[in-house]
Structure 1
Amino acid sequence: MLLGLEPGHAILWKWFCGHCGCPVPRLTRNGKIMVIPAGSLDTAPPITPTAHIFWASRASWGCASGGLPTHAEYPESW
């Protein structure tokens, strides 16, 4: 199910299951990236994290980096 709200020129879209209300996978606006809510996965994904993004603005109770590279924002290579 797709819910759109367009007051004036501001646009807000939410993608969720019409049955249970959970977020569902969706493409980003440019159609190049698929966003898959972690809570929608039945099993652990076959990949592991390669870096942490938005590290500078993480919650104070956030976990350690685990030795992975950290980035204050999106890496330039993305």
Structure 2
Amino acid sequence: MNKSVDAAVLHGTCLCGAVVYEVADAFAYAMNCHCSKCRRVTGAAFKPIGGIESGKFRVVKGEDNLLAFGGENYDLHCRTCGSPLYSVVRGGNYVHVLLGTLLEAPSLRPTEHIYVGSKASWFEITDDLPQRQELE
């Protein structure tokens, strides 16, 4: 995933700083995913993600410190601190950046909640964003 980034650049990192990435501030979409897998990977009620073409994302430090989990779509974590950082999806053509790992605010904020049909029963969505039962 070491490709150039052309637009305004955002920076992200894991908790310990062993992995650092750059991503164009040009997310194609952003959403809050409530599926059980995303909840388990984050330990939170949902996973806020920004989707971007893989060529607009690159790891600039610590690529050898990444640990991958999953199959065709997989999550990348810091091997040292365990922080989830991003997922590779859609045949490797897109990256889902965990918005909480960004050091700067992205231009595009989440525009919807997805997989609310399996959201945590103890969590109440209180904003006015559209809610999808799944990802149609």
Scaled to the shorter chain, the TM-score interval is: 0.5 to 0.7
Which amino acid is 1:34 matched to? V
Q: Which has the higher contact order (CA 8 A, sep 6+)?
A: 2
Q: How high is the TM-score relative to the length of structure 1?
A: 0.60
Q: Per residue, is there more helix in 1 or in 2? A: 2
Aligned residue for 2:81, secondary structure, equals coil
- In the comparison of the two structures, how many residue pairs are matched? 70
Select the residue among 12, 16, 40 that pairs with 2:101.
40
Q: Please give the root-mean-square deviation of Cα atoms over the aligned residues, in Å.
A: 2.8
Alpha-carbon separation, structure 2, partners of 1:63 and 1:4: 29
Taking only the aligned residue pairs, the percentage that are identical comes to 31
Q: Per residue, is there more strand in 1 or in 2? A: 2
Pick the structure with greater CA Rg: 1
- The gaps in structure 2 that reach 5 residues or longer are 1-65
1:1-78 matches, cutoff 5 A: 1-3=66-68, 11=71, 15-28=76-89, 30-75=91-136
Deviation at 1:26, TM superposition (A): 3.8
